[in-house]
Amino acid sequence: MIELKNLTKVYGSKSRATTALSGLNLTVDKGEIFGVIGHSGAGKSTLIRCINLLERPTGGEVWVGGRNLTSLGKRELQLERRRIGMIFQHFNLLSSATVYDNIAFPLRLAGTDRTKLKSKVEELLSLVGLEAHSGKYPSQLSGGQKQRVGIARALASDPDVLLCDEATSALDPQTTDSILKLLLDINRKLGLTILLITHEMHVIQSICDRVAVIHEGGIVEQGPVAEVFLKPKHEVTKEFISRDVAGGDAPEVRIAGAAASSGRQAAETAALPYTGGAVFRITCLGENTYGTALSEVVLSTGVHFAILQGTVSTIKEVPYSQLTVSFTGAKEAVELAVAKLRERDFDVEVLG
């Protein structure tokens, strides 16, 4: 659906040239939610603006829906842009226009007749949950409501692709979660391809199917979110995960997913002492996350264990756990415990 081929963007020239993107290659499949994460200055915003050619690349090609946008003339490009919606960090709403008129704005530009325009705006108001706010002005709305208007406006032309430029970074955590849920619902209801950029791993973890990590203008790691999230390879990826998810304060056990499942809102944390023994990282993705397999294996083999650090949470509504565990006992018993865990589809990595 989206394919970037050897994408390059250079600002300035000669001795004052700054390379924002350097030979970047990326593919986003139709209907998926793809996240790009990176620090400020890594090239995220330049990347997303190159996709709809708000920034024209210095080199390379941008393909959307089978068409090479970088080869199109001005008129053809304008038509193709209607298939690409975009929402922004700071909403970019018309302050003197009502919610209704903000959503109707691109339809009026396209010459949509009044009856069809009214029907479409009402449909979008319902989709984003703003039916009761259609006559209000942006100054009367909360940040989350403003972003819902921005989403509805971006969907007015029935795009195939929705680009999200740090769409939740100006919002508080609770509002962020509600916007992410809305984007996930839109993706499922409309089959819309969504590409979002962010500096928050929580955003990636919540709704994305795949993720790419951008650093110094290039992609340093990419893949399915669970794979990148649970087995990061690049130091930048590890830094994001440590900061945004694990908190970077080991040894610690974070039971966010378990706490939520038992009705508690806050994550429950507890530090456990290291008692010696072989150390393993045990990862589980799916229904076994909340099961008793670990305790059953330990009891059946006579091995003692201590959880040194761990997380229980979800990746796009799929539960997972990742625990750093110390096993003590006879060598044969520890090896048997590891073998039994692997038989039950746990990924067990020897750390020391």
pLDDT of residue 252: 34
pLDDT of residue 291: 85
CATH H-level superfamily of 253-350:
ACT domain (3.30.70.260)
Query: What's the pLDDT band for 244 if we cut at 50, 70, 90?
Result: low
Which of 196-205, 261-270, 341-350 has the least mean pLDDT? 261-270
The three-state DSSP-derived secondary structure of the chain is CEEEEEEEEEECCHHHCEEEEEEEEEEECCCCEEEEECCCCCCHHHHHHHHCCCCCCCEEEEEECCEEHHHCCHHHHHHHHCCEEEEECCCCCCCCCCHHHHHHHHHHHCCCCHHHHHHHHHHHHHHCCCHHHCCCCHHHCCHHHHHHHHHHHHHCCCCCEEEEECCCCCCCHHHHHHHHHHHHHHHHHHCCEEEEEECCHHHHHHHCCEEEEEECCEEEEEEEHHHHHHCCCCHHHHHHHHHHHHCCCCCCEECHHHHHHCCCCCCCEECCCCCCCEEEEEEEECHHHHCCHHHHHHHHHCCEEEEEEEEEEEECCEEEEEEEEEEECCHHHHHHHHHHHHHCCCEEEECC
Mean pLDDT of 216-229: 93
pLDDT of residue 260 exceeding 80: no
Mean pLDDT of 185-191: 95
Mean pLDDT of 333-350: 92
The CATH topology of domain 2-237 is Rossmann fold (3.40.50)
269-321: pLDDT as tens digits = 333 344 457 899 999 888 888 888 888 998 999 999 888 888 888 888 888 88
* Measured distance CA(277)–CA(194) in Å, rounded: 46
Mean pLDDT of 159-178: 93
97-140: pLDDT as tens digits = 999 999 999 999 999 999 999 999 999 999 999 999 999 999 99
pLDDT of residue 30 exceeding 80: yes
Mean of pLDDT over the chain: 88
Return the percentage of the chain with pLDDT > 90, whole number: 69
pLDDT of residue 59 exceeding 90: yes
pLDDT of residue 346 exceeding 80: yes
pLDDT of residue 255: 34
Domain ranges of the chain: 2-237, 253-350
